[in-house]
Amino acid sequence: MTTLIIENAHGLDHDTPPGHPEQVARLKAVSEALSAPAFDTARRAAAGPALRADITQGHSEGYLDQIEDAIPASDRVALDADTYVSPGSWDAALRGVGGCIAAVDAVLDGHAKNAFVATRPPGHHAERDRAMGFCLLGNVAIAAKHALDRRGLSRVAVVDFDVHHGNGTQDILWDEPRALFVSSHQMPLYPGTGGPGERGATRNIRNVPLSPGSGGTEMRAVYEAQVFPFLRAFEPEMVLVSAGFDAHRDDPLANLNWTEEDFAWVTRGLCDLADELCGGRVVSTLEGGYDLSSLAASVAVHVTELMERHG
């Protein structure tokens, strides 16, 4: 088995205003990085759209109606100060969820060892009834619910190493005892949530804030002391990753100092645990990362580590 890369080309049709950090060029940079010869042995697939019944595993019917009604016939509309929709946004969002679900199915069915979903808009800030932080639909949270409710898994872990707290994933999984959500993130920083006291309805949430200005040394200590033990104790049957690369030292939206090797290190650690606990079942999905050069380089090392797990 090999790594599956699912690409959402319709993410190029999600238009944001000039100068917006969550821009079309992000997905182009990722696609270009993953077109290098080093990734030729990976399987490739295009993301198909999720069904409404899939999406309501994470969002209310009323919220879906609200977002669909907001999609303009031309130009773009602001849902809040940061989050926009354009004519192509709904199909892009549907295919983001669809790509994540397809990745879960491919790994569970043995068609791939692990998977990476290259998509935009990102998803981890989208709450059950609220779009925010560039995000419309909770890609990874819905994939977790799919693995549990549709595929019959008993325990799924979601690990979010985006520099911003995954408040949307936390909101959707708050009452889900079968899902462990672990988020490392800079604090203080947008969206202002993610304190250690936020534990979930069944103590299934673990937030591990990182101080502004800290780097890979501090991150590795926190993962070894907290994140990896949380995962090992939970014994997940699949690990889902919200892979944001905006903790990089060159990213303009935050103040952590990770390097590409730090992203490689955390990926190796998660894959090692997945090998130990659940047959290597890992599905990773793109979240943030707003410096194009560091985003491309960090995605490349992340997917390289996934591909090292063949067999």
Kindly state the tokens that stand for 123.
């998803």
Question: How is 146-190 classified by DSSP, letter by letter?
Answer: HHHHTT--S-EEEEE-SSS--HHHHHHHTT-TTEEEEEEEESS-T
Q: Can you tell me the distance from the alpha carbon of 187 to that of 200, in angstroms, rounded to the nearest whole number? A: 19
Our answer to whether residue 59 is catalytic in this structure is no
Amino acid at 25: A
C-beta of residue 100 within 8 angstroms of C-beta of residue 117: yes
Residue indicated by tokens 């100068």 = 19
Q: Beta-carbon neighbour count of residue 73 at 10 Å?
A: 5
Catalytic site residue from 10, 125, 185, 248: 125
Q: Beta strands of the chain (E only): which ranges? A: 3-7, 43-46, 77-78, 84-85, 114-118, 156-160, 179-186, 205-210, 239-243, 282-286
Residues labelled as active-site residues: 125
